[in-house]
Structure 1
Amino acid sequence: MWRRTSPSPCLGSYSSPDPAASVEELTFRLHPDQAPSRPVSIVRRVFSLPTLVSLALAGAFLAFLATRLDMDLAETWQQLRSANPFYLLLAVIIHYTTFFFRGLRWRLLLNNAAHPDEERAGAFQCAQMVLLGWFANSVAWLRLGDAYRAYLYHEESRAPFVRTVGTIVSERLLDAATMVVLLALCLPFIVGAGLGIGLTITATAAGLLAILLAGVILIGIAGRREGLSGFFQALLSWLPDRLSSWFVQRLRQFREGTIQSLKSVPLAALWGLLGWLAEIARLYLVTQALGLDLSAALIVFLTLANSLLTLVPTPGGIGAVEAGLGGLLKQLTTLSTPAALALVLVDRAISYLSVIVTGAILFVLRWLLRRRGNPQSGTGA
């Protein structure tokens, strides 16, 4: 059951663990009786070292571009100043609908995996957690946002952590399948730009297919009820009985999170596709705001490339995304360097910097609501 600490029906009233918190602190939150004696400052949480390092990296990268590359910063600034504010505002609004669609998808997966006696997750709560997961990815190294989101849901609902991770694995499989389809649709329109980029797209699609196939095999193994313990019997035979039972239980929870969550694949795939289309629409609106003319296939490909480049384990893919998108724009288009730089800066301001700002605001609001509902609470948010 959900643990409520405040009656707020909108922002929620659940604790929001710090994405930059230590493992020790998260352990304390799972065991309140072992809570640290001194409360953790909310300022230190939001403006933590990972956040500061992330922003410092962004500034250092922009400084590198400005000083080492042949750029006309005055022309870039002029391009930014001439951007259509209406299209920019619309791009921001459309971008944040992706959290709603992805939240609906995750809610569907969570509820499919839930036991009959468990309370069902809410759409708005799931959308909040997806945003907080992106926020964690934006300020923390090693892309810990998914693990943070799983822990956040586990702490609030008391659902098994491993089962929650299983639903996120299902999410990633659906995303991989969607990206393969979108890349396949783009390929005929992009390969004409050069052999190198065609090979890059083909290799990317092949990699995603391999990940998808591995995930299907893994889920298939985990989904064999009668063969679950038999498959791992040789592996577990040398473990103590108690540890072996614990491991098998976690495997069964993972199976519930994957197999059970995929009861409604068409609807889950639809919500995921709408989330991707929102991101594609964001980039399209940014190009319109800057008065740039890019083909629909190229916009789709650049959106997917943006997502793949964020897999680099820096906060929000900082450095890799900017350099990668800039290089692709120069290779695949006739845009000038200032125009390409302006496009990258505006799109990243919406998809990266704004997520840090809105995520931090949401984090603080949830923490304040928890404090209002439980004045004795000094840890956790």
Structure 2
Amino acid sequence: MTEEPSGLLALLDRKTVAQIALGFLVAVVVLGLFAVGIGVDEIRAALSGAQLEWLVLGCLSTLLCLTAWGKAWQIVLRVAGVEESFRRLAVTYYAATFANYVTPLGQAGGEPFIAYVLSRDTDASYEGALASVVTADLLNMLPFVTFSGVGFAALVYQSSLPAALEPLAAGLMGLAVGVPALAAVGWRYRFSLGRLALRLAAPVARRTKRLGLEGLRERLRELNDAFQRIAQDRRALVSVLAFAYLGWLFFALPLYFAGLTIGRDLDLLLVLFIVPASTLAGLVPSPGGLGGVEAAMIALLVGLLGVTTATGYAVALIYRLASYWFALGLGGVAALYVIARN
């Protein structure tokens, strides 16, 4: 077994904390410049009379989303032979969400974090825990491509897709078709791809002690075993996908509630398109896609609904309060608890 990564210690490393803080600072400045450019008075007017009970419902939807995804992880871990109480695992999942949301480009911090914690809390090896976590995350990609495809189809059917957004829509449809196709091809040729990965990693492994070929080979084997176990257990696979889809529905609903907060009743099918589309902007190098997601959402709301830029900014701001900042606060508290627990 390879040496456990210092996932928790990395979160406390001064250099890492400084980089994260700088990323937040830059993103907040960008959002501030957006507000100034749009007009602070116009945004304030759009937010006047906001009904905060809808914002509370948006936060509750985010909590249910994270809880559903945590349940999906528990099922995958159980198939892998890792027994963990749901209450304990849910807290760990909230902490992993915090790691994802403070990491530039997202999804780069949470998986090693939760695998490290699970290897400490259970009898699972770090490789086995990481393989199970990655398996659950890959299965969670299916609702993303499904919802984006459904939303795109609805917009095309209603003939309400502006020409300026056609490239983005085409990209989402490409993902909706390409991700399942790539997954099928990857599964079919997984052993060949594994050998290719080892050959590509060999030159790097010879130049650094941080990467060992034996450790990489073990992790690939554990990942393949995790995929095979979940594929063979059809009932568990259906349960994981059910919770994944439920989680994605709750992930999208905060945008609907954000519209209601300022008196805008958004079409749910439109929401199913806008949320995945704006999530793609989370690939910008800022914590949780901060700045990029908001900019993309404003453009989509203005282009699809014809609302003013100030209204789009207000809806995007409320959505991110419920879906990002609330999750960040919840995950931060959970991360402190998990660190103390371990």
Q: Above 0.5 in TM-score?
A: yes
Q: Following TM superposition, by how much is the alpha carbon of 1:140 offset from its aligned partner in structure 2, in angstroms?
A: 2.3
Q: How many residues align?
A: 321
User: Equivalent residue for 1:86?
Assistant: 53
In structure 1, the residue corresponding to 2:283 is in which secondary structure?
coil
**CA 1:295 to 1:168, structure 2 compared with 1: closer, same or farther past 3 Å?**
same
Confirm or deny that 1:120 pairs with 2:80: no
Letter of the 1:130 partner, please give it: Y
Map Cα deviations across residues 240-282 of structure 1 (whole Å, 9 max, x no partner). xxx7765543332111222213422211110001101111222
Question: Structure 2 matches for 1:147-166, cutoff 5 A?
Answer: 147-166=112-131
| Higher helix content, 1 or 2 | 2
Letter of the 1:83 partner, please give it: A
Deviation larger for 314-323 or 256-265: 256-265
Letter of the 2:241 partner, please give it: A
TM-score by length of 1: 0.74
Q: Following TM superposition, by how much is the alpha carbon of 1:179 offset from its aligned partner in structure 2, in angstroms?
A: 2.1
Letter of the 1:343 partner, please give it: V
Letter of the 1:95 partner, please give it: T
**CA 1:360 to 1:128, structure 2 compared with 1: closer, same or farther past 3 Å?**
same
User: Equivalent residue for 1:134?
Assistant: 97
Please say if residues 16 and 367 of structure 1, whose CA atoms lie closer than 8 Å, have aligned partners that are also in contact.
no
**CA 1:254 to 1:57, structure 2 compared with 1: closer, same or farther past 3 Å?**
same
Please say if residues 19 and 148 of structure 1, whose CA atoms lie closer than 8 Å, have aligned partners that are also in contact.
no
Please say if residues 19 and 136 of structure 1, whose CA atoms lie closer than 8 Å, have aligned partners that are also in contact.
no
Map Cα deviations across residues 276-312 of structure 1 (whole Å, 9 max, x no partner). 1111222111111110132121111112123322233
**CA 1:201 to 1:19, structure 2 compared with 1: closer, same or farther past 3 Å?**
farther
Question: Structure 2 matches for 1:285-324, cutoff 5 A?
Answer: 285-324=257-296
1:77 to 44, 50, 69: 44
**CA 1:324 to 1:318, structure 2 compared with 1: closer, same or farther past 3 Å?**
same
Q: Following TM superposition, by how much is the alpha carbon of 1:343 offset from its aligned partner in structure 2, in angstroms?
A: 0.5
Return the alpha-carbon distance in structure 2 between the equivalents of residues 158 and 228 of structure 1. 29
Please say if residues 27 and 286 of structure 2, whose CA atoms lie closer than 8 Å, have aligned partners that are also in contact.
no
User: Equivalent residue for 1:102?
Assistant: 69
Please say if residues 109 and 268 of structure 1, whose CA atoms lie closer than 8 Å, have aligned partners that are also in contact.
yes
User: Equivalent residue for 2:169?
Assistant: 201
Please say if residues 131 and 359 of structure 1, whose CA atoms lie closer than 8 Å, have aligned partners that are also in contact.
yes
Return the alpha-carbon distance in structure 2 between the equivalents of residues 352 and 342 of structure 1. 15
Letter of the 1:98 partner, please give it: C
**CA 1:311 to 1:123, structure 2 compared with 1: closer, same or farther past 3 Å?**
farther
- Name stretches of at least 5 consecutive residues in structure 1 with no aligned partner: 1-14, 23-43, 371-380
**CA 1:92 to 1:245, structure 2 compared with 1: closer, same or farther past 3 Å?**
closer
Return the alpha-carbon distance in structure 2 between the equivalents of residues 165 and 213 of structure 1. 24
Deviation larger for 94-103 or 352-361: 352-361
Letter of the 2:301 partner, please give it: L
User: Equivalent residue for 1:354?
Assistant: 326
Confirm or deny that 1:335 pairs with 2:307: yes
Please say if residues 176 and 209 of structure 1, whose CA atoms lie closer than 8 Å, have aligned partners that are also in contact.
no
User: Equivalent residue for 1:218?
Assistant: 186
**CA 1:362 to 1:137, structure 2 compared with 1: closer, same or farther past 3 Å?**
same
**CA 1:351 to 1:219, structure 2 compared with 1: closer, same or farther past 3 Å?**
same
User: Equivalent residue for 2:3?
Assistant: none
User: Equivalent residue for 2:35?
Assistant: 66
Return the alpha-carbon distance in structure 2 between the equivalents of residues 125 and 140 of structure 1. 23
Please say if residues 110 and 261 of structure 1, whose CA atoms lie closer than 8 Å, have aligned partners that are also in contact.
no
User: Equivalent residue for 2:11?
Assistant: 20
User: Equivalent residue for 1:188?
Assistant: 153
**CA 1:74 to 1:49, structure 2 compared with 1: closer, same or farther past 3 Å?**
same
Return the alpha-carbon distance in structure 1 between the equivalents of residues 283 and 31 of structure 2. 20
Letter of the 1:188 partner, please give it: A
Return the alpha-carbon distance in structure 2 between the equivalents of residues 194 and 75 of structure 1. 25
Q: Following TM superposition, by how much is the alpha carbon of 1:178 offset from its aligned partner in structure 2, in angstroms?
A: 1.7
Letter of the 2:24 partner, please give it: L
**CA 1:82 to 1:207, structure 2 compared with 1: closer, same or farther past 3 Å?**
same
Q: RMSD of the TM alignment (CA)?
A: 3.2
Q: Following TM superposition, by how much is the alpha carbon of 1:77 offset from its aligned partner in structure 2, in angstroms?
A: 1.6
Q: Following TM superposition, by how much is the alpha carbon of 1:162 offset from its aligned partner in structure 2, in angstroms?
A: 2.8
Please say if residues 298 and 312 of structure 2, whose CA atoms lie closer than 8 Å, have aligned partners that are also in contact.
yes
Q: Following TM superposition, by how much is the alpha carbon of 1:141 offset from its aligned partner in structure 2, in angstroms?
A: 2.2
**CA 1:213 to 1:334, structure 2 compared with 1: closer, same or farther past 3 Å?**
same
Return the alpha-carbon distance in structure 2 between the equivalents of residues 89 and 111 of structure 1. 33
Q: Following TM superposition, by how much is the alpha carbon of 1:316 offset from its aligned partner in structure 2, in angstroms?
A: 0.5
Please say if residues 93 and 114 of structure 2, whose CA atoms lie closer than 8 Å, have aligned partners that are also in contact.
yes
Letter of the 2:28 partner, please give it: G
In structure 2, the residue corresponding to 1:310 is in which secondary structure?
helix
Confirm or deny that 1:167 pairs with 2:132: yes
Question: Structure 2 matches for 1:232-311, cutoff 5 A?
Answer: 248-262=217-231, 263=233, 264-311=236-283
- Percent identity among equivalent residues? 21
